[in-house]
Every structure is written in structure tokens, then in C-alpha cells.
Structure 1
Amino acid sequence: MNERLATSASPYLRAHATNPVAWYPWGEEAFAEARRRDVPVFVSIGYSTCHWCHVMARESFADPVIAAELADGFVSVKVDREEHPEVDEAYLAAASAFTRSLGWPLSVFTTPDGRAFFAGTYFPPEPRGGMPSFTQVLAAVRQAWTERRETVDAAASAVVEALAEAGKTSASDLPTAAELEDAATRAASFEDPEFGGFAGSGADAATPKFPMAPALGFLHAAGSTDVVTRALAAMASSPLCDDVDGGFFRYATRRDWTEPHYERMLTDNAGLLDVALDAGRDDLARSIAGFLTGVLQQPSGGFAAAQDSESWIEGARSEGGYYRADAAGRADLEPPAIDGKIVTGWNGLAIRALARAGSRLAEPRFVEAARWAADAVLESNIADDGRLLRASLDDIPSRAAGTAEDAGLLTAGLCALAAATGEVAYAVAARDVLDTFLGISPLVPEPVEGSNVASASVRPLDKLGDRTPAPRGGWADPVLKAQGTPDPPDSSDSDHPSGPSALALGALALWLLGAGQEFREWAADIVRAYTARSLAEPLSHGSMLEAALLLARGPRHVVVVTDDPEDALSQRARGLPADVLAFVTEAQARAFSEAGLSLFEGKTRADGRATAYDCRDFVCRLPVTDPDELG
């Protein structure tokens, strides 16, 4: 048993603890050992619900002969890409110099100082289909290292230089409303007219199809609602949607949404829950929320990262067999395994989506599920010194630092939960998360006894002290930073917001609650840096463009001050399209205002009646008490 992996906060690493390979987890220790022995480092990256990762593990990493070859000539590092997304991002970028077939398992060979000089993905146990066997790859890499070191070093340096050049970005003006409209039109032009969703021109029947929730979110916000409606309808009626447990699978291997790749990811489903809510697909929203709360929510309250595609059926591993069974058939089958690690940012996505679902659909159980998850993340995924951590498992915190993605998405989730519950403590926690990550002097309010969130009794904004963010760039991961790995390449919003997009959205969520104009300015600075790339490739940058859209137009806030969130005025408000929809009592409104969240300043009930405050495009209408006047 490899104790270095057995005590990890990653189910993926724990699953490899019984391998004969002498794995190291990601960290400086592995590279120091490689320097001591003067051998290359083999970095193997995957995740627990990756089918071909399982295959390569069974074929190669369980083989004592291959394990001996790795031990003799390499230092081997096993990485969970979901625990260390920055490591995955860095090595994917490096691997693109050696192969077009990027994916997982990702197999990268580096110098002892972390520079990649060869990479690939899955290598079979014997030569197959033009691919060399894994043992042949190991032999060739080892020969190059011992006999052609200068060539290896030159290749590694060339990759570093190319990545450094590619990672340079330049700021420009914020996108105009006209530019964003054009971007939405071009993104919508990729719609598959026959099967919905997105496919390039000339796509054949075997073209894989992904949900692409960030792109759908941007298109809906930009007014291309028909594209979104058709995509949701097509996916919901296809095998991509699980009609037993609810939720969607990762992607379809064919253009008509058939033959899914059966893993179910938290990111996809949290994002699609948001899209379904905005598109008015309440039935679909309830189905997705049911999957999140019924399958992925763990005993701690946090949401698991994913559910596997494989399960055991009649003593054999089956990919998708469980999901192809009907409800009666599943009753007798063992469900696929859950990757139970609680990823901070992904939980932030789910917290936001469920908090919004609870408010929109008048379903308190969804809000409570979001609250339970938020408390779990704040308890287990923040270190004693206030640093954000990437993940935890069974209350064991990961050694991986929280990323921009984690800080931004958790901030946005906590803000949505504050609006849904009327509890300012979650907004205060959101502000502290972002402040600490950005290097701003954080507030240190007194904790509420028996709670994981901060007290609402904090200083107002004009007495917060230094709120100037420290300059921030490059990697949060200390090993990548120490090795001088080039700054992150331009990130895209594929299945969920990238790190920069997440930070922009988190800052805007605080701004929408009235936390201060500086949060809007920080978001604007991020959007400016990615404007050119986002406008050029709108389908790949949906979340960044959605942030840009919010900056380009005035937001809409709807705050209902009431003692009964089920009254007629509240019910009418639930159906309104708004960037912030909040339900608070008068006491809660005062608490928000005293915490420096100006959206709630002066919000009271008129003549003792439930009162709604509707502000659009930076202009507030007169408060109303009659539901018919709210529209």
C-alpha cells in the first residue's frame, strides 16, 4: 500500500495506492527526488470517472514489470486533474507541442525542473493502431534522456519559450453592446439546425456533442433564447438525459445526442440547472436539482465531483450498463461509484444554481441543500489561516491551494445564497473569500456561535481600510510558480467558467449586492484583458462574455421585504428576470446595510405590508405593494 496516496484527499489517487508503481503525489518532493537521482519525471494525470484512465491503470500501472521499469528510470507522479486544475492546464498546454490528441489520461515526461520534453495520452500495453506500447515509450524516453540530453533540454526549453509567448495578453476596451450582439449572433450560427446544440458546418453523424452550459448562458442573456430553448429540448428528450435519476451525462458521442459518455459531472449539471431556470424550463430544473441533491450531495453536505460511467454488473465492469437500465432494472444493480471529493469552486456553482432554483421555484428544500453545502465548504475547504483550499474528502483537506476558479465561483454561490436566505453572513463570507484570495486586507468579524459563517456585525465600507488588491498573476500552485512555468494560457469556458471568468463573475456578484464599485472595476479589468480572444471565439468564452454583457448594460435588482416569502407579492417576484432576486425581512435588510451592502439600504415595508423594490438600468422605480404593479 502506497501511504503517500492512501491518505490523499483524492479518490483517484487513493484508487492507485495499491499499484506496484511507486507513485508520488504532486509536490516538490517528487522533483527533488528526480534531481537527486538525475532522472526524468513521469507525470500521469487523470480523474476518477475517466474510462480510459481506468483502462491504462489496469493494463499498465497494475503490471509489476512496468512498475519496475518506472522505478528504475523515472520518478512517477500521479495527479488528479480535478484536485490540481492548474497542473492539468499547464501540462495540457505543454502536451499540445507533442500531440493533437489532447485528453486523459495525460502522460507527460519532464525534466527534474518540471519542463516537459515529451507527452501523449493513453498508451496501450502492446503496439496498436499506429500507437507504440507504453513499454516502448518508456524505453525511448529513457534512451533519449541518457544518450541525447542536449536534444531533450533544447526541446524542453523550446516548449517553455513558446508557452511564454502564447500566454501574453493585452488589455483593450470593454466590449460594446454592438460587439456583444455580434458575438452572440456568431455563436448562435454554430447551432445544429437538425439536432439542436452546437456543431460546426459539415459535422457528420459521429461528431461528439457537449452541452456547453456557459455558451447557452451567454446566448440566453444576450437574447438568443430560441437557440437555448431548442438545445435544452433536444438534450432533455435524448439519451443524454437520465430519465430515472435526473441530470445529464458528460457528452454524447454522436451528433444526434445518442450514445452518451455516461459519467455525470457536477459542473455540467450545475451549469445546466442555471440555464434551465433562465429559460423557464422548470420541469427540467427540478429534475437536475433532484439529481444534485439525491445523488451527488454527500453526508457532509458538500456535493461530490462526479459519478462514474462504469459499474459492476454480473462480475464485470460495464460502461453505461447501469444507466441503460430502467428504474426497475436499476433497483437490483450496484450504482456506479461517486467521486466524493468536495471541490470548492464546483460546489460554488451548485450552491448558486440551487439557491436560485429554490427562490425561483418556491422550493425551500433546494435552498436548504445549498446552505448545507455552503456550510460544509466553509468548514472543510478553508484553512485555519483563511487560505482557500481546492478540495476535501471525508473532511480531509487537500494540500492543493484554491484557484481563481474556486474563489470566484464560491463567492458567486455565497452571494446567491445570501439573497435566497436573507442571511447577510453568507455575503460577508463571500467578500472575505474574494478579499483573501486577492490579497486584500480581509475583515475579521466575530463568528456566530455554532455556525460556519461570519457575523453580520462588521464595519461599513467607508471604514474597511486598504481594499487595493495586490497584483496577481501566474499560478496559485506553488510548485508551478517555483519552477517558473509560463503563466496560464488563455482560458476558455467549456463546461464551466474558467478562472478569470469565475473571478469576474464573483466580483460582479458582490457588486450587485452593493459591496462597492471597486468590485465592478476589478471585474472590468479582467474582462478587458480577455476581450479580444472572447469576441474572436464567442462559443468558447460564454462566461466571460456574460460578465461583459452585465458590464455593458444596467443590472436589474428586485428586493422583496416581507415576513412571508410565500405571499402574493413574493410569488409574483419569483417569475421576474433579474440579476439579483432577494427576499428579506426588515431586520435582515438592516443587517445587510450595516455590513456595507448598499443594495438593501432603506429597504422597509410600506405601511406594514410586503413591499417590492425594482431597480433597472441604474434607475429605481417607486416601491410597490400590489402584485399587479410588479412586472
Structure 2
Amino acid sequence: MNDNRLGSAVSPYLRQHAANPVDWREWGAEAFAEARERGVPVLVSIGYATCHWCHVMARESFSDPEVGELLRRDFVAVKVDREERPDVDASAMAAASAFTEQLGWPLTVFMTPDAQVFYAGTYYPPQPVGQHPSFRQVTAAVLDAWRDRRDEVDANATAIARAIRQGAEADAASAEAGRSDGSGPGLPSVDAIRRVVRDLERAEDAEYGGFAGAPKFPNAPLLEFLGDAAADGVDAAGGLLDRALGAIARSELTDADGGVFRYATRRDWSVPHYERMLYDNAGLLAVADPARARGIADFLRDTLRRTDGAFVAAQDSESTIDGRRVEGEWYRLPLDERARFDAPPLDDQVLTGWNGLAVRGLVLAGTRAGDEEMIGLARAAADAVIAAHLRDGHVAVRSSSGAGTSTAAPTIEDIGLFAEGLLELALVTGELAYATTARTLVDDGLSGVLEVDPVLAAAGTATGEQPQTALRSGTVALASAAALLAALTGEDDRRAAAGRLVAERARTGVDRPLGHADALGVALALQRPSREVVLVADDRSGPDVTAMLHTLRAVRRPGTITAVLTRAQAADWADAGFSLLEGRDALDGVAYVCHDRVCALPARSADDLVAQLG
């Protein structure tokens, strides 16, 4: 009898497998208790709703009744959505690295009933291909080891769990020891960070742009670091950034509607892997020029935006064309022909952190371009997530979908990315509520209120947030938000906390920037003199204010923050504890340029402002 329990899952990825002839369970203590009672291993299959090879493995193996019977008899089978439970995915990835360097999804992991990994891989075909075994061969080998070599299995599981635990403990110790006051390992020097650009010059693909060979990823965090370095005066950084962005924009990786695919399978940026993720597009908004940013914003608005303003996680790589389920064919059609067919389906999951990234990207791009619609899209997304995912100013929900609200606990990604997005939105709109909510979230993140998954905690395999090449780190975003708050409030303990959060990641990033570039950008900002620019104007339509706003759009330098408020808003911010705004409600239509919160005389024209900015 089929006992598949995914029909009521919140995750769209899990619901995609609800009709499989596999007794799938959701991740949780009950599944492992069942394995313990039956004395069988646990198969944990991890993927996400728009993953092409996850679809392939589902069709080839998990839809096969014989495979379903095998898994029902000899395993407890657990499905995990890596978007819903990134903590589980990070732990499984760390374990899988002991068996393969080719990490990705679907991730196929075998665990003991105590949730410790003893074997792992990725996609397995239904029949062996060359040296690549079939899924049935893998399960047969796993069962053989489980039944006949249990001591070896237990030893492997224990060793892998110990290595994960030691790595997590080392990360925690480094974060605590990494102080910016000289009492422990601190941030890498500015010169060391600037030298990373020289290393990236050597790694650049001189023929096609970008870095490394195939596959080619957009790597928005790395591109944003190049933008920070260019703004800090590293001449080569701007060229590297422009060439990479230009290559992406001209390539098949950018769709005709402006959206960007997840990666290209070839070195020349061709043959995309066609799913389109919110995080890639949101991250690129932070660095794209106005024309390219407008295209991405149109894609977010027209394709990923819900009616309430929140953004869903992704659009699938596959669609149904003439009765066939195919990858990429819909995207290869001209825009005017696509309407004849159903568009690829959406991963309708709303993720707090990813929406925070989108809010930030839209604000940064909208501010640069003077595009109020982008700011409006950011505001609507922030309002929707606050209404649905926050309780009394705290993140209570990581993930929701049309099927309900997930029980998965919020992660550092949700707190950090959403806090940073809200602060950027507050600075450009002057809306105090966004700033006070962000302050609450930052304090939550710094106080360590996050829950650890109980199954991972019991197994000793919780890793904490792992560095990624595609998605801005929640830890880094939290550090950035804490530094912004320090500039606004004068509370230097938050700035010191920001240094502690990114110190280890930034030191690692000096040697390995591809996975730690976001930390390098924040580390650079923390070591530059703090500069605060405040424009106070009740009416933004006058020629002087318009000219000053135009000037501020070009202001980008690590360590600089810019706020635009009315006099009434400035007074409210000051009353709420944002002391940078104290006394800024006396004059209208003026700008203040401050260094470490010591402000020059008010600038009353764009020329005055330019002179003070130097």
C-alpha cells in the first residue's frame, strides 16, 4: 500500500512527488524514528521545484513502481526541498563532499537512523552509463554494506559527522575570535582585499568574459565585489565587471524578456541551464547598468511577482510543448510565439530571505536609475513579506506557498537578507517603520535566536550557513545591516559585531574569492572611513533638490550610506534613536555630508554637494 505523505506539503517540490509510488516522508524526527524501529537506512533525496535533473530522476526512478517497492521495503525515503530547508541541504552537501567533488542537485544521501550520512552522490540514471552506476546498483551496494558491513558503515558515518562538527565548531570559534579591535584575528587589510582584483584579472576568461571555464555562472556576489573595488579606486575592477556583465547580457544566458538563467553549460555562455532563480536576478540588479536592470526588473514584475507583491522563488526549466515535456524549448521561441503555449511553471514558494535580496536589488537599481517603479516593487514585496512572514517585528516564517505556511524554521539568510533589504528601502523612502523593523531583525541575528533543526542537532551535523557562489550570504548581509545601523545610531558595538561576523569569511576570501566575495566587499567598507550623506527635502520636484538627487545617484563608495527624508521623517527617525538625524528637521532642501557622523555645513545646491563629496 502506498504511504506517500507529501500531498499536503507546503513545498511545491515535495508536492511534485506526491504521486510517486514511493513512501516519501518529509524531513523530521518521525521519519528517523521509523527507520530506527525498522532497522533500515534512510534515503534522503534533496532538490528543488525547478531543477531539471531532479525532474529527470523523478521520471526515470521515482515514478517506477519497482523502485517504489524497493524503497518501501528496504529504506525510509525522505524528500527535502533545499529552498525550504537550506540547513539540511548544507549539512548533506558537507557530508557528500567526502564522496564526490561534483556536488549539485538532485542530491542523493544515505543516512543511518541517527541521521548521520554514510554514503552520498547526486543524480543516478536508471541504467549504468560508463563508470556512472545506476540508481538500483547504488541502492544494492548501500544495502549490502548496511547488512554485511555495518561496522564499516557506522565508522564512516561517525567520521563524517565528526568532521562536520569540527568544521562547524571552528567556524563558530573564528567568528567569536575575529574582532576588529585587534584582540584577535581581524579583517584582512585593505591592500590584501584590493590585491584580490589582480588575482581575478589572471582568472578572467579573456576570450568570453567572466571567470573559469564551463559551466559559467553569473556569480552576482563576485560581480558586486568588483563594483565595490572599482568604487574604491581599483582601476582594473571596473573593466572586469563591465566585461562580465556585457558577456552575460549579450549571451543566451539572458532571455529576451530580461530574465537571466541559472548558468550556461559552455564556456562561451551558451546552452543555458534554463531555470530562472529569484536570487540570481535579484543579485544582478545590485550591479547591472540601468538598461539591463530594467529588463531584470520587468522579468520580476511580469513573471515572478504575486498579486500581493511578494516574489516567488523561480521559474522552471521545463515546459510542455505539443504534449511533450521538454527543457528550454519554450524559452527558445520568439517572444510573440510563446503565448501559444503554457509558460514553464513557477516554484510558487515565497522565501523571506530571497525577497529581502530582491528588495535590496530593486532599491539599489532603482536609485541609480531614478526609477520609481522599481522602488515601488521593492516596497510592495517588503510589505507583503512583513504581513505574512513576520510577527511583532521578528521573522517567524521562512517559507510559504499557495498550500500554506512551512514549519521550517527561519535561517540567518532570512534575517540577514531581509534586514539589509529593509534598511536600503528605508534609506531611500524615509519610511521609519522599515528601519525599526530592520533594527529588530539585526538584534535578533546578533543575539543568536535562531533555532537549530532538532534532527541535525541530535546528530551533531548542523553546519551553520555555508558560503555560496550564487547567493549573497545571510551572515554577510547581517553584518552589512549592522554596519548601516551603526552609522545611523552611533552605536559602535554594532559595527564591531559586523567585523566579527565577516572576519573569517573575508580572510578566506582573499585566497578563495569565488565563494566569499560578498564578505570582501563588506570588509572593505568596514575599513574605510564612515561617510554619511543625508538629503532633507519635503518636496523632491524642485530643480535644486532634483539636481542633488541626481548627484546622490552616482555616489558609491565602500563605507558610504545615503539617506533621503522629509523634515518630518527626520524628526521621527531622531526620536526613534537614529541619532544621525538629530537636528536635521530644521532646514528644507539641504544635504548634509558627514564623516564618522561629524557633518559639514548644509549643502544647498548640487554644486555645494559635489564639492563636499570631493
Fold-level similarity (TM above 0.5): yes
Which residue of 1 is the match for residue 589 of structure 2? 610
Which residue of 1 is the match for residue 385 of structure 2? 377
SS at match of 1:501: helix
- 2:278 paired residue among 242, 252, 266: 266
Answer whether contact 1:105 1:122 (CA < 8 A) is retained: yes
Deviations 1:52-95 (A, max 9, x none): 10000011111111111101111111000011111111101101
Residue 343 of structure 2 corresponds to residue 335 of structure 1: yes
Deviations 1:382-404 (A, max 9, x none): 35794532211127221111111
Residue 259 of structure 2 corresponds to residue 241 of structure 1: no
- 2:245 paired residue among 232, 238, 242: 232
- TM-fit CA distance, 1:218: 0.9
Which residue of 1 is the match for residue 424 of structure 2? 416
Change (3 A) 1:477 1:328: same
Residue 323 of structure 2 corresponds to residue 322 of structure 1: no
- TM-fit CA distance, 1:488: 3.8
Which residue of 2 is the match for residue 460 of structure 1? none
Match of 1:362, as an amino acid? Answer: G
Distance in structure 1 (CA, Å) of the matches to 2:166 and 2:275: 36
Deviations 1:174-222 (A, max 9, x none): 21111111123223331111111112xxx4xxx2111111111111111
Match of 2:227, as an amino acid? Answer: H
Which residue of 2 is the match for residue 577 of structure 1? 556
Which residue of 2 is the match for residue 353 of structure 1? 361
Which residue of 2 is the match for residue 459 of structure 1? none
- 1:407 paired residue among 407, 412, 415: 415
- TM-fit CA distance, 1:331: 2.3
- TM-fit CA distance, 1:593: 1.1
Deviations 1:494-544 (A, max 9, x none): 111224323222322322433622221111111223343122212321111
Distance in structure 1 (CA, Å) of the matches to 2:556 and 2:601: 18
- TM-fit CA distance, 1:36: 1.3
SS at match of 1:5: coil
Distance in structure 2 (CA, Å) of the matches to 1:286 and 1:418: 21
Which residue of 1 is the match for residue 197 of structure 2? 184
Answer whether contact 1:380 1:395 (CA < 8 A) is retained: no
Distance in structure 2 (CA, Å) of the matches to 1:601 and 1:9: 46
TM-score, length-normalised on structure 2?
0.91
Which residue of 2 is the match for residue 550 of structure 1? 525
Distance in structure 2 (CA, Å) of the matches to 1:156 and 1:179: 39
Residue 455 of structure 2 corresponds to residue 479 of structure 1: yes
Deviations 1:374-422 (A, max 9, x none): 1221222235794532211127221111111111100000101111211
Q: List runs of 5+ in structure 1 lacking aligned partners.
A: 439-468
Distance in structure 1 (CA, Å) of the matches to 2:211 and 2:598: 37
Distance in structure 1 (CA, Å) of the matches to 2:435 and 2:356: 13
Change (3 A) 1:231 1:386: closer
- TM-fit CA distance, 1:618: 5.4
Residue 497 of structure 2 corresponds to residue 497 of structure 1: no
- 1:599 paired residue among 567, 580, 585: 580
Which residue of 1 is the match for residue 216 of structure 2? 209
Change (3 A) 1:544 1:4: same
- 2:488 paired residue among 507, 513, 526: 513
Which residue of 2 is the match for residue 250 of structure 1? 262
Residue 297 of structure 2 corresponds to residue 296 of structure 1: no
Which residue of 1 is the match for residue 373 of structure 2? 365
Residue identity (%): 48
Which residue of 2 is the match for residue 18 of structure 1? 19
Pairs aligned (count): 585
SS at match of 2:6: helix
Answer whether contact 1:388 1:407 (CA < 8 A) is retained: no
Q: List runs of 5+ in structure 2 lacking aligned partners.
A: 179-184, 231-236
SS at match of 2:286: helix
Answer whether contact 1:561 1:605 (CA < 8 A) is retained: no
Which segment drifts farther, 527-536 or 62-71? Answer: 527-536
Which residue of 1 is the match for residue 505 of structure 2? 530
Deviations 1:331-361 (A, max 9, x none): 2121111111111111100011112233332
Change (3 A) 1:605 1:262: farther
Match of 1:626, as an amino acid? Answer: S
Distance in structure 1 (CA, Å) of the matches to 2:595 and 2:200: 27
Residue 601 of structure 2 corresponds to residue 625 of structure 1: no
Residue 44 of structure 2 corresponds to residue 68 of structure 1: no
RMSD: 2.0
Deviations 1:551-576 (A, max 9, x none): 11023332211122343232333333
Match of 2:43, as an amino acid? Answer: F
Match of 1:484, as an amino acid? Answer: G
SS at match of 2:203: coil
Answer whether contact 2:592 2:599 (CA < 8 A) is retained: yes
Change (3 A) 1:620 1:184: farther
